[in-house]
Amino acid sequence: MIGCEPFVNGVGALLSRIQEDGIANIRIFDDDARLLLEAMPDAVLGRVFILFSDPWPKKRHHKRRFINRATLDSLARTMKDGAQLRFASDHMGYVRWALGRLAAHPAFQWRARRARDWREPPADWVATRYQQKAQRQGRPAVYLEFLRLDRS
């Protein structure tokens, strides 16, 4: 697993959790994940998680959102055929934004078949700190799952 987190406090919390839990299979990239994607070879990622990333809610800041065409192109290049992409957020404006861009991208297919597929977390879900905060404040989260389509 490679965890990408540009904020020092987030990295510090992650390092503490890794040490507490004795986890040895995690590497941390303490910067924007897009920089790491640029350096990766093609078709190496089996799963990608974009969990409660900054929604940049002001319209003038939407260009900063992680989900955009350039990032999706980089993900499509670096993900293996059949790889899973999970996106979760409690910001409904960003959910609509992400769903629209992901559904329109030719390399990805939305996996939802019924409402609970995006309203309930997957069975193997581990709640994030941001998700827990949103739940305490009464904001529901949405869980989108996409499949990287075969290149052939």
Query: For residue range 103-147, what is the model confidence (pLDDT) as tens digits?
Result: 999 999 999 999 999 999 999 988 888 899 999 999 999 999 999
Identity of the residue numbered 140: P
Helices (H), the chain: 8-21, 33-39, 69-78, 92-104, 116-119, 129-136
The pTM (predicted TM-score) of the whole model is: 0.89
Window from 5-14, 49-58, 108-117, 132-141 with minimum mean pLDDT: 5-14
Kindly write down the DSSP assignment for every residue of 35-61, as one continuous string. Answer: HHHHHSPSS-EEEEEEES-----SGGG
Average pLDDT over residues 92-108: 97
Beta strand pairing call for 142-148 and 79-89: antiparallel
Identity of the residue numbered 50: I
Residue ranges per structural domain of the chain: 50-148
Share of the chain above pLDDT 70, in %: 100
- Identify the CA nearest to 90 among candidates 124, 57, 123: 57
Do 4 and 32 contact (CB within 8 A), yes or no? yes
Checking if the pLDDT of 10 tops 80, the result is no
Checking if the pLDDT of 7 tops 90, the result is no
What are the residues facing 29 on neighbouring strands? 4
Among 3.40.50.150, 3.40.640.10, 3.90.550.10, 3.40.50.720, what is the CATH number of 50-148?
A: 3.40.50.150
Q: What tens digit of pLDDT does each residue of 69-81 get?
A: 999 999 999 999 9
What spatial distance separates the first Cα and last Cα of the chain, rounded to whole Å? 27
pLDDT band at 5 (very low <50, low <70, confident <90, very high): confident
Helix (H, G, I), strand (E, B) or coil at 126: coil
Active site positions, annotated = 54
Checking if the pLDDT of 96 tops 90, the result is yes
Q: What tens digit of pLDDT does each residue of 60-69 get?
A: 999 999 999 9
Q: What tens digit of pLDDT does each residue of 22-34 get?
A: 988 988 888 899 9
